[in-house]
């Protein structure tokens, strides 16, 4: 079952028309952390979209954070990004 915060992220990130989108709830890694009092609040997003082509990594990150800015810092406390402009899943080498 998808939690409501993940659903909100997916709705916002759909604007990128991603070829690949994976959202991982990492809130359990932050149990007891001040930003995790409400439960699911720490996420990692793996995104591959052609919209990133020709953009620097900073521009890619700005684009994503602009799409979710109304969700931060509440209900989303932290969002880690792994981004790619190819149709393959983002990996450590192309973040």
- pLDDT at position 93: 47
- pLDDT at position 2: 67
- pLDDT at position 35: 46
Rg (Cα) of the chain, in Å, rounded?
A: 13
Q: How confident is the model at residue 87 (pLDDT cuts 50, 70, 90)?
A: low
- pLDDT at position 94: 45
Least confident of 10-14, 18-22, 37-41, 79-83: 37-41
Residues 27-82 have pLDDT tens digits of 766 555 554 455 558 889 999 999 999 999 999 999 999 999 998 878 888 899 99
Cβ atoms within 10 Å, residue 4: 9
Q: Which of 93, 94, 75 is nearest to 83 (CA)?
A: 94
pTM to 2 decimal places: 0.77
**Which domains can be identified in the chain, with CATH numbers?**
4-94 (3.30.300.90)
Burial (Cβ within 10 Å: 0-12, 13-18, ≥19) of residue 10: middle
Largest CA distance in the chain: 40
């Amino acid at each position: 079952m998808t939690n409501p915060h993940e659903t909100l992220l997916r709705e916002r990130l759909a604007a990128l028309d991603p070829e690949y989108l994976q959202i991982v709830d990492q809130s359990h890694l932050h149990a007891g952390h001040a930003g995790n009092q409400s439960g699911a609040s720490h996420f990692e997003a793996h995104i591959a979209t052609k919209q990133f082509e020709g953009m620097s990594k900073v521009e890619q990150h700005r684009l994503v954070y602009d799409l979710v800015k109304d969700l931060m810092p509440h209900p989303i406390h932290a969002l880690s990004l792994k981004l790619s402009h190819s149709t393959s899943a983002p990996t450590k080498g192309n973040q």
